[in-house]
A and B are shown apart, each in its own frame.
Chain A
Amino acid sequence: MRKNLLSLLFSVFIGLQVFAQDKTVSGKVTSSEDGTPLPGVSITVKGTTKGASTDANGVYKISTPANSVLVFSYVGFTMREIQINNQTIIDLQLSPDAGVLNEVVVVGYGQQSKKLSTQTIATVGSKAIANRPVLSPQELLQGQAAGVQMVGSSGLLGANPVIRIRGAASITGGGQPLFVVDGVPLNDGTLSAGQGAPVGLNPLLNINPQDIESMSVLKDAAAVSIYGSRGANGVILINTKKGATDKKTEISLDTYTGFSDPTSLIPMMNTAQFVGYIGEYRAARGLAPVSLSNDYFDWPTNVVQQGRTNNISLSARGGSQNTTFFIGGTYATESGFTIGNDLRRLAGRLNLEHKVNKSITVGTNLSISNVDMDRIGAENNTFAPLTSAYLQLPNVLPRDAAGNLVNTGFIQNVIGLEELNTNRFVSKRTTGNVYADFKIIKDLVFRTDFGMDYNAGDSKQRQVNLFTPTGSASRDFQYDSKWLSTNTLKYNKDLGKSTFGLLAGYSFETSLFDRIAVSGTGFASDGLPNVVSAATPTQTLEERSEWALESQFGRFNYGYDNKYVFEASLRRDGSSRFGADNRYALFYAVSGGWILSGEKFMKNQDFINFLKLTASYGTAGNDRIGNFSSLDLYGGGVLSDYGGSPGLRPTQVPNRSLTWEETAQLDLGFSTTFYKNKFNLSVNYFDKVTSGILLDVPFPFTTGFASASRNIGKLQNTGVEIDFNANIYDKGDFKWNIGFNSAFLKNKVLELPEASIDLDGNRFVAGSASQRAVVGRTLNEFFLVEAIGVNPTTGDLEWRTKEGAATTTYSANNRVFVGSAIPKWVGGFNSNMSYKGIDLSAQFSYSYGNKVLIDGLGFTDNMSATAGFNKSVDLLNYWKQAGDVAFAPRLGSSTAPLFNQASTLRLQNGSFMRLRNLSIGYTVPKILLEKIKVVRTLRVYAMGQNLWLLKDKNFRGPDPEVSANGPSNQVLGESFFALPQAKTITFGLNLGF
């Protein structure tokens, strides 16, 4: 009835126009997306009040002067203007405003319209991270955002991963980005020891991935400079789940259970192979035969098991007019695929916001968590199950004839260790903030925010008498306790075409590290678990260290006509870590954007729906230089005492000018949406130069010191990042979209003044025995003797001299640069499909052009008969007669005992592509659920992690995706025997009430 009435009115209206003797134009308006007619589109004659709108079939008719311009507008679609030019029928399509471009992005200390932002930020949304069976937030970033390289350092539970945003911007300083959870920058010092791996456990193990709504990766200077002296490594903003205004409370129950296995193991000799090989080796070298036990125990397969993972999360979110909330809790258990490696996590979160009155809002975000781990050693540690399982001789048995566990000596009986020893780590963390917003006048808001982050790690070990005579015990309790106060003023003004935004802030942040450790040996009984029962205390340690950061910061935005945007930001940091002469640091960024698609000349085409060009330049710093590196220090202890009395001696050089490392970054980019808003593409070029890099500079000894840290190095990262998303099909029940991201990175060390010089005159800083940062090359350049291989004629292994000739003499002087651990190209791609209730998604990540060093091969490739370690089965492929193309040299060759010397034989091609995640789910239709009434939503799914891996066919080692040194910038892509990544299959259920 109403519709008819409207039609009638329109007819009358149009009739009137005819009488005015204007031209009548008619046509049909449809959606560019699917061609469906658009009813209710408003059509106006530009410069007049004349107007009309489309009917239910998208048809319109309007009377207008011949030379006028018609303006078509419709909510959610891009407005179009059409010159009539004597046309009488104008059919046209309107394109939807790309949904993604209406999104809001989270930036430092605020939010912005993604469309108008000039910052380069990658957002990983809830869809990409929901239900992923991972333990830490870093893992969620893998392959998800261009320019973010995330390498799981191993398959160990809680391993500390590598994250590099746009390359590493430091050498000896820390390489981790700054993680900020709901405005609270996290403590990220590891509170546990490495136990064989060079780094301890992931310090963000207590940040519950189930709580995360989205993550924003701040990349360019425009985005990070507001984090000042901590922004140079990039900043990752973690936004946790929040409530919603005026929404019925939604209860969600998410649970999954899964099974994990190692992706691969290294094949080692069995007893028959080992005894046979030793016999042949000894015979070939004229050594007297020895009699070896023929017992056999397959250590590697006996220390791996099928891992289990279970997770249950229960949450409620909702809100009234004045109060919104999210309350959630997670209980998770996981046992790794290696014996003795278990984890339990209990985490809770409360996010609450309440509007007190028109001008005051208060809120809190608070999380508490407890992670309880049964740890194992890893990498270069004979207490590490998998390492020792590889190295243990196959004829050594874990138990004697009576079935009792035995001590197997230096290569530990890891089965016994896991059964009898204690190796526990408990981590408790409370992170959160309380805040209040005051609306002072219209458009002006003052926020005061008090945040805290308490992270404690408690390690306990106990070795029984069988494996450590008389027994030993240790306890090590450490915590990082931070509080900060942040006060900001925000002013936003809309003056018609011009818009202004202003942010000014002050923050003070301080953190205390505290540690108490005790250990002792000599226990009357294995039944006494604690250090107090030890006869000899071997360590009593207490240490504390504090730092503080005081900052002022501001940001100014100006926009004109939604076409031209400009932003400037500034931050001044005063840090207790900086030397007295350089205590305050100033960082800035300027950026601009031009939304070309807003210009007139872009209106006459409809291929490109949105196009923005951005440019930014600015600075950020890295304050990870140690807490007291600038002071002259005097230390006590056993090197200072004399004649029975304590003393003090100078231990650190004063360096009053010691300060932050500064990274200046240029970013040029464009982002566009095209072809009916189906495709999104953004491309960014960056050039990042870090100067004032902290280096240990050797001093003449006449100063009384060997070296000190100086801000003198220079490093460059340049690259291109591409993010592409395509909505390939979205009609009716079937939807399919794909995305890929990719980053090409070039890293170059520009200057290392005063650093060491190698034999060829290159300045370098050694990260490890095999890896160096070298001027003119990358930060992570492998420096090794090149092994050519076994000469088929002679059966000798040949190395290459520095001049390029083959030689059978091994010399460290022949080391050359043989590749970098830094990939040239990293990224990921994904595909998401859905048909009715069924969804299928796959996500891949890849790394190309990097090398990986497996140090453990130095042990398993030891050809010598007397080495007390098991050997790789590859050694059975040794040269036997002329013409053999063998892996290992002739047993009698003079090169055989040197086969395992550090050379390119340990260096592997680290390129890989991995099916990170594959999931299939079924969402039960709403219609069915409405009948049940109790359940609001129901989805079941199966998900697989790391199901497929493409790697070099000659790769030798556990996994190309390893890097035992975690966030260290100096050593990348090296591993002893990392645990391979786990292959996990989970089955889950998402229930909504």
Chain B
Amino acid sequence: MKNIKIALLSALVLVGASCSDRLELLPEQSLAGSQAFSSAANAEATLRGVYSQTQLLEVFGSGPQIIFDYQADNTDFVGSFPTLQDINSYVTTSPNATIQSYWQVHYRVINAANSVIENVPGIADPALTSEISKRLVAEAKFLRAITHFNLLHMFAQPFQVQSGNTPGVPLLTKSFTGTIEFPARATVAACYTQIAKDLNEALVDLPAASTPASRGRASKGAAAGYLSRLHLYKGEFQQAADFANQIVSATTSYSLATNYSFYGAAPTAEHVFVIINSATDNGRTGSGGWASYHRPASNGGRGDCAMAPSLETSFGRESTDKRFVDLSTLVTAADGQRKRMTLKFSDAANNTDLSPLMRTSEIYLNRAEALAELNGINNESLTLVNGIRTRAGLPAWTATTFTTKAAFISAILEERRKELCFEGHRRMDLLRKGLPLRTTGPTASLAVFGGPKTILPLPQREIDLNKNLVQNQSY
């Protein structure tokens, strides 16, 4: 009898006592995807994770932005970094490691944003109200949109080439869950459509900017501002003007600063959307950063980005321009030569400078330009630009300063160049107007509008791994 009991017991132990639930173990240093989207607090954290990656050098931490200025005629890259030199000399090749890492990190941001967009609405946590949930999704859509937009500027021709019927970039709107997909490039037009869709959807649920910190997050103003820029780039001036007006008219939130002290670490009413950096949390890498590229070694920077002669000439036409006199100095650049460099980014020691992605003055200029396109020389445009000119210590324009619409528009563009230089706008401002990136020097023939070398090659690694990707012409 006793033996039978033991036999039964042992059989039970052998077969029955399964511990399979104990095989469901989770890591403690990281959260599994299911945990990352399990509460309101975690959801907020995953969104901050997206911002944290946009902060990197490779996205909005100065890398692409300095290229946008030196591929054009605002700066000259005089540093020693070969992959960046290649871009400056228009001899980039597809294995270029810098471009590869930019591409990589952009899609990392997009994937992280997609995870938030997909997973946050499903979180069952009473603390996560529908309002918060919608805001989180809206912020992620905003980040997805502007990251796609940034990629598009680097790797695709402007909309003005064949009305956007050229290869854009792969649009990723689903998070990666393990099955590798090989997306093809959407057309530039399709990319614009998707980006506009994301921004429009975001606009609905985003909050208005209030505190300085909220300017470092997506807001209604930021979404409207990007929509204004997008429509301007696309040549849809009414929409560009209308979206710009959402900011121009929100005078309690956004206004032109009276001087240039807003360049620094703290967001102000001048800023529509920035990435906020601090000494312990910034996008600088060993390769560079805003102040690192734009300040000389004597200030702790690399001294890589010198003001191009073309921009000096531009400023020289009105030599009292404070943006030249007060915001640039002669320093010893990376090539050992005395060069002029901007003072917009001053903190090469701790890298706390804001990434100035969108300022009120840009929005003013967007609306001024769009209205000029629509209505020719007009008072509102003049007023908007004059605010900027006055701040720069320049005489205001009057209705009689210009005789033609074209002259007016090109003056607004010139004003735009001087206002937004070193902030990454120049390249698209030229291309969207069908203008060459450079007009002088040995590369002028390559820098023409629509020229294949005005856009960067897709990374060779991606071409190798994804047969659906078509390389840009001439690479």
Chain A residues at the B interface, C-beta cutoff of 8 Å: 359, 438, 440-441, 444, 446, 448, 487, 489, 504-506, 508, 510, 543-550, 552, 574-576, 583, 627-628, 631-636, 638-656, 698-706
B112 touches A646 (CB 8 A): no
Give B16 Cβ to nearest chain A Cβ, in Å: 9
Minimal beta-carbon separation of B402 from chain A (angstroms): 43
Q: Are A634 and B31 in contact (CB-based, < 8 A)?
A: yes
Given known pairs A633-B33, A634-B31, A649-B52, the reply for A700 and B465 (CB within 8 Å) is yes
Q: Residue on B with the closest CB to A447? A: B10
A634 and B112 CA atoms in complex are apart in Å by: 10
Interface contact A632-B14, CB-CB below 8 Å = no
B466-A643 in contact (CB<8A): no
> Which of chain A's residues has its CB closest to B4's CB?
A440
Q: Which of B27, B44, B46, B107 contacts A702 (CB 8 A)?
A: B107
Q: What 1/0 flags go to B177-198 for Cβ under 8 Å of A?
A: 1101111000000000000000
CB <8 Å contact, B14 and A487: yes
Stretch from B18-26, B83-91, B128-136, B427-435 that touches the partner: B18-26
B103 to A: closest C-beta gap in Å: 6
A644-B281, A704-B114 given; name 15 further pairs at CB < 8 Å: A440-B3, A440-B7, A444-B7, A489-B10, A506-B13, A510-B22, A628-B32, A633-B30, A635-B30, A636-B45, A638-B281, A641-B281, A643-B48, A702-B183, A703-B111
Q: Tell me, in angstroms, the Cα distance from A699 to B182 when the chains sit together.
A: 10
In the complex the two chains form, is B180's CB within 8 Å of A699's CB? yes
Query: Which one of A574, A631, A643, A704 has the highest number of Cβ atoms from chain B below 10 Å of its Cβ?
Result: A704
Q: Contact between B32 and A698 (Cβ–Cβ < 8 Å)?
A: no
With both chains docked as a complex, state the minimum distance between the C-beta of A656 and any C-beta of chain B, in angstroms. 6
Considering only residues 1-53 of chain B, those with a C-beta below 8 Å from chain A are 3, 6-7, 10-11, 13-15, 17-20, 22-33, 35-36, 42, 44-53
Judge whether B176 is part of the interface by a CB distance below 8 angstroms: yes
Please state if A508 and B22 are interface contacts (CB–CB under 8 Å).
Answer: yes
Q: Is the CB of A634 within 8 A of B36?
A: yes
Residue B313 at the chain A interface, CB threshold 8 Å: no
Whether A550 contacts B20 in the complex (CB less than 8 A), given A545-B27, A631-B32, comes out as yes
A701-B107, A703-B176 known; A543 vs B181 contact (CB < 8 Å):
no
Q: In the docked arrangement, what's the CA distance between A341 and B251, Å?
A: 73
A504 to B12 alpha-carbon distance, docked (Å) = 12
Cβ B33 vs Cβ A575 within 8 A? no
Q: Which one, B32, B45, B103, B104, contacts A640 given CB within 8 A?
A: B45
Decide if A702 touches B172 in the complex (CB within 8 Å).
Answer: yes
Judge if B461 is at the interface, Cβ distance under 8 Å. yes
- Complex CA–CA separation, A345 to B14 (angstroms): 39
Q: For residue A631, which residues in chain B have a CB less than 8 angstroms away from its CB? A: 26-27, 32-33
CA distance A544 to B115 in the complex (A): 26
Most-contacted residue by chain A among B20, B25, B36, B280 (CB, 10 A)? B25
Cβ-defined contact, A633 with B25, below 8 A: no
The answer on a CB contact under 8 Å between A645 and B48 is yes
Contact A632 B461 (CB under 8 A): no
User: A548's contact among B25, B50, B104, by CB below 8 Å, is which?
Assistant: B25
Closest partner residue, chain A, to B31 (CB atom): A634
Q: Chain B residue with minimal CB distance to A444?
A: B7
Contact between B32 and A632, CB atoms less than 8 A apart: yes
A597 to chain B, nearest CB (A): 38
A587 to B55, CA, bound (A): 49
Q: Which residue from chain A places its CB closest to the CB of B25 in the assembled complex? A: A576
Tell me whether B176 and A642 are in contact (CB under 8 A).
no
Given A700-B180, A704-B108, CB of A441 within 8 Å of CB of B48: no
Quick one: given A628-B27, A633-B33, are A655 and B48 in contact (CB under 8 Å)?
A: no
Q: In whole angstroms, how far apart are the Cα atoms of A527 and B379 in the complex? A: 77
The closest CB in chain B to the CB of A550 belongs to B19
Which A residue sits closest to B111, measured CB to CB? Answer: A704
The 3 closest A-B pairs by CB, nearest first: A704-B111, A647-B48, A649-B49
Residues of B within 8 A of A632 (CB): 32-33, 177-178
On whether the beta carbons of A650 and B48 are closer than 8 Å, the reply is no
* B33 x A574 contact (CB < 8 A): no
Bound-state Cα–Cα, A252 to B136, Å: 74
- Measured CB to CB, the closest approach of chain B to A530, in angstroms, equals 26
What residue in chain B is nearest A657 (Cβ atoms)?
B178
A649 contacts B112, CB within 8 Å?
Answer: yes
A336 CA / B170 CA spacing, docked (Å): 60
CA distance A628 to B30 in the complex (A): 10
Q: Which residue of A lies closest to B15 (CB)?
A: A506
Closest to B55 in A: A642
**Residue of A441, A487, A703 with highest tally of chain B CB at under 10 A:** A703
Complex Cα gap A11–B100 (Å): 103
The yes or no answer to B276 lying at the interface (CB within 8 A) is yes
The residues of B that contact A698 with a CB separation of less than 8 Å are 461, 465
A-B contact pairs, 8 of them (CB 8 A): A505-B14, A575-B23, A627-B25, A632-B178, A645-B48, A647-B47, A654-B178, A702-B107
Give every chain B residue within 8 A of A489 (Cβ-Cβ): 10-11, 14
Asked if B217 CB lies within 8 Å of chain A CBs, one says yes
Q: Pick the residue among B25, B51, B108 that contacts A647 (CB under 8 A).
A: B51
B213: Cβ under 8 A from any A Cβ: yes
Q: Is the CB of B104 within 8 A of A648?
A: no
Chain B residue numbers with a CB within 8 Å of A642 are 48-49, 51-52, 55, 216, 276, 281
Would you call A704 and B112 a contact (CB within 8 A)?
Answer: yes
Q: Does B462 contact A (CB under 8 A)?
A: yes
Smallest CB–CB gap between A409 and chain B, Å? 23
In the complex, whether B310 has a CB less than 8 A from a CB of chain A is: no
Question: Do A440 and B29 have beta carbons less than 8 Å apart?
Answer: no
Q: Which residues of A contact B15 (CB under 8 A)?
A: 506, 552
A648:B181 contact, CB within 8 angstroms: no
Kindly list chain A residues whose C-beta atoms are within 8 Å of the C-beta of B281: 638, 641-644
* Cβ of B175 under 8 Å from chain A: yes
Known: A704-B111, A704-B112, A705-B111. A648 touches B49 (CB 8 A): yes
User: Quick one: which of B11, B19, B46, B49 has the most chain A CB within 10 A?
Assistant: B49
Whether B80 is near chain A, meaning CB under 8 Å from some CB there, is no
Q: How far is the CB of B287 from chain A (nearest CB, A)?
A: 16
Partner of B459, one of A550, A644, A699, A701: A701
Say yes or no: B115 contacts A576, CB within 8 Å: no
**CA gap between A653 and B112 in the complex, in Å:** 12
B110 CB–A CB distance under 8 Å? yes
Q: In the complex the two chains form, what is the Cα distance from A701 to B107 in whole Å?
A: 6
- Contact of A440 (CB < 8 Å), options: B6, B22, B25: B6
- Chain A contacts of B35 at CB under 8 A? 634
How far does the alpha carbon of A635 sit from the alpha carbon of B42 in the complex, in Å?
Answer: 11
B213 / chain A contacts, CB cutoff of 8 Å = 643
Of the candidates B13, B29, B175, the one whose C-beta lies within 8 Å of that of A545 is B29
B contact residues around A656 at 8 Å (CB): 178
Cross-chain contact B50 with A543 (CB below 8 angstroms): no
Instruction: Write out the residue numbers on chain A whose beta carbons fall within 8 Å of the beta carbon of B6.
Output: 438, 440, 446
The residue among A506, A633, A643 with the most chain B CB atoms within 10 A of its own CB is A643
Contact across chains for B27 and A701 when beta carbons are under 8 A apart: no
- Interfacial residues of chain B within 209-224, with CB under 8 A of chain A in the complex: 213, 216-217
Known: A633-B33, A698-B461. A544 touches B111 (CB 8 A): no
Whether a CB of chain A sits under 8 angstroms from the CB of B445 is no
The residue of chain B having its C-beta at the shortest distance from the C-beta of A698 within the complex is: B465
CA A506 to CA B18, docked complex, whole Å: 9
Chain B residues whose CB sits within 8 angstroms of the CB of A548 once the complex forms: 19, 22-23, 25
Q: Given B31, B45, B104, B177, which contacts A706 in the complex, CB threshold below 8 Å? A: B104
- Asked if residues B115 and A650 are in contact (CB atoms below 8 Å), the reply is yes
- Complex CA gap A702/B176 in Å reads 9
Set of chain A residues within 8 Å of B28, measured between Cβ atoms: 543-545
Query: When A438-B10, A489-B10, A633-B27 are in contact, do A701 and B104 touch as well, CB less than 8 Å?
Result: yes
Instruction: Give every chain B residue within 8 A of A703 (Cβ-Cβ).
Output: 107, 111, 176, 180-181
Question: Can you list, as one digit per residue, whether each of B431-462 has a CB less than 8 Å from chain A (1) or not (0)?
Answer: 00000000000000000000000000001011
**Complexed CA–CA distance, A634 and B28 (Å):** 11
Closest to B51 in A: A642
B401 contacts the other chain (CB 8 A): no
Report Cα–Cα, A634/B107, bound state, in Å. 16
